[in-house]
């Protein structure tokens, strides 16, 4: 149970740093920092979900997409949000190609949407930890 709490706190802290950078005026440096913060926030979220599924549901899921699909089947996400989470996973995988200007612009343009999605999902677990 302690590991689950630690993972959840990692999610909350990383969401705070992502929220902070999203309030900054846009620039190339802010864009790149935002994408970096998105990467570690996404990682914190899916690893928390993996731990939640293991500890609370007795389910082993070893990938972000498998975790989001299972969270959907448990009723935490609706179909539209699940689809958005799966797309967000693809964009996270694209972050290794942010040296390509167009890829970086596309990912950055989705950050506020992804932040809201991750915040909404994490809030659903506040009373379950």
Task: Give the pLDDT confidence of 21-44 residue by residue, as tens digits.
Answer: 999 999 999 999 999 999 999 999
35-79 pLDDT per residue, tens: 999 999 999 999 999 999 999 999 999 999 999 999 999 999 999
* Domain ranges, residue 119: 2-128
Whether residue 97 has pLDDT greater than 80? no
Q: Give the count of domains, the chain.
A: 1
- Phi-psi region at 75: left, alpha or beta (left = phi > 0; alpha = psi -120 to 50): left
CATH code for the domain of 18: 1.20.120.330
User: pTM for this structure?
Assistant: 0.95
Query: Would you state the pLDDT for residue 21?
Result: 98
The sign one gets for the Cα dihedral 119, 124, 126, 129 is: negative
């Amino acid at each position: 149970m302690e590991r689950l709490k630690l993972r959840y706190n990692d999610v909350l802290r990383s969401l705070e740093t992502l929220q902070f950078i999203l309030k900054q005026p846009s620039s190339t440096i802010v864009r790149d920092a935002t994408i970096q913060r998105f990467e570690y926030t996404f990682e914190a979220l899916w690893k928390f979900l993996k731990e939640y599924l293991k500890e609370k549901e007795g389910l082993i899921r070893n990938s972000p997409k498998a975790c989001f699909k299972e969270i959907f089947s448990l009723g935490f996400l609706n179909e539209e949000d699940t689809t958005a989470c799966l797309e967000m996973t693809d964009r996270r995988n694209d972050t290794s190609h942010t040296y390509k200007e167009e890829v970086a612009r596309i990912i950055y343009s989705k950050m506020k949407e992804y932040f809201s999605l991750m915040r909404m999902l994490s809030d659903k677990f506040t009373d379950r930890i």
